Amino acid sequence: MSTVSLERNLVISTEKLQETANEIRKLALRAITKANSGHPGGSLSLTDILTVLYFNLLKHDPKNPNWEERDRVIISKGHASPGIYAALSLAGYFEPEEFVNTFRQVRSKFQGHIDRLKVPGVEVSTGSLGHGLSIANGVALGLRLESKKNKVYALLSDGELQEGQIWEAVMASAHYKLGNLTAIVDRNRIQLDGWTEETMALNPLADKFKAFGWEVKEIDGHNFSEIIDSIQSGSQRDLTDKPLLILANTIKGKGVSFMEDKVAWHGVAPKPEELEAALAELTTN
């Protein structure tokens, strides 16, 4: 089996993770600029979490994407596709340049929102917000029926927590005691129209999930050791423990100073000169 063992992965240093995260951000921004379309803000806020999963903790095999024993990452925020494709390509699922050159083009595998039928490593096609947690619940139930120990990770945006379906799913994860499920919310506090708390207030999020029967850990979503520790604590639960929510406080547009915390960078492509400035920042970081 060509799969990298968990133990070997753990020796990756914080410096190496940071370097990988920067490479992911650069690829994502290059692809968005080339397509002149895409979502930079939410890709960059999710990048450090993706980095820890795909380059450190996840049980997966890029050469065998359908490996039965893999952990499952259900990404509900399908619009973060540039960051996701970048992470998957660097992990070895496909060639990075193939993604950068064809992202959002007609007949490309690399659709605007992730598509499982087109891109290896994508577990489920999403894009329409609010579906992912329900799907992750189904995957967790299905794996548990087979007594499989594989972990299920649901990556959610914060804005999509405004969808009613999410709370139906939040109820169900707790009702069915899905101890094999960890949901990570990319809490970047910004949605398309503005700050989440001004558009449709979500707080207090931790209290809401606790009240629905979840275990909650709140972390800095850009601090690698906090991301690793919280995900690892999730991995040590029994199959019928409470589901775990990692509320990851993040910064939209993280890593590029002029994009950070800016509503405008939710779904707008950088101009070529802005890309140059961003790449320069990500190289010196």
Contact with another protein (CB under 8 A) among 128, 225, 240, 285: 128
* Per-residue mark of binding to another protein, 87-126 (x: CB under 8 A): -----------------------------xx-----xxxx
Amino acid (1-letter code) at residue 89 = S
Instruction: Name which of 120 and 220 has its Cβ closer to another protein.
Output: 120
* Per-residue mark of binding to another protein, 25-64 (x: CB under 8 A): ----------------------------------------
* # residues contacting another protein (CB under 8 A): 31
Does residue 138 belong to the site contacting another protein (CB under 8 A)? yes
CA neighbor of 53 nearest in space, from 155, 148, 135, 130: 155
Contacts of 17 (CB under 8 A, 6+ apart): 48, 51, 52, 55, 56, 224
Contacts of 108 (CB under 8 A, 6+ apart): 102
- Classified as helix, coil or strand, 101 is helix
For every residue of 157-217, which 3-state class applies, written as one string?
ECHHHHCHHHHHHHHHHHHCCCCCEEEEEEECCEECCEEHHHHCCCCCHHHHHHHCCCEEE
Contact with another protein (CB under 8 A) among 32, 35, 49, 74: 74
Please, which of residues 198-257 interact with another protein by CB under 8 A?
none
Does residue 69 belong to the site contacting another protein (CB under 8 A)? no
Contact with another protein (CB under 8 A) among 15, 146, 147, 273: 146
Does residue 273 belong to the site contacting another protein (CB under 8 A)? no
Does residue 141 belong to the site contacting another protein (CB under 8 A)? yes
Distance (Å, whole) CA 100 – CA 85: 9
Please, which of residues 161-180 interact with another protein by CB under 8 A?
164-165, 168-169, 171-172, 175-176
Instruction: Name which of 20 and 157 has its Cβ closer to another protein.
Output: 157
Distance (Å, whole) CA 25 – CA 255: 8
Q: Provide the β-strand partners of residue 220.
A: 249
Amino acid (1-letter code) at residue 32 = I
Residues in contact with another protein by CB under 8 A are: 72, 74, 116-117, 123-128, 131, 134-143, 145-146, 164-165, 168-169, 171-172, 175-176
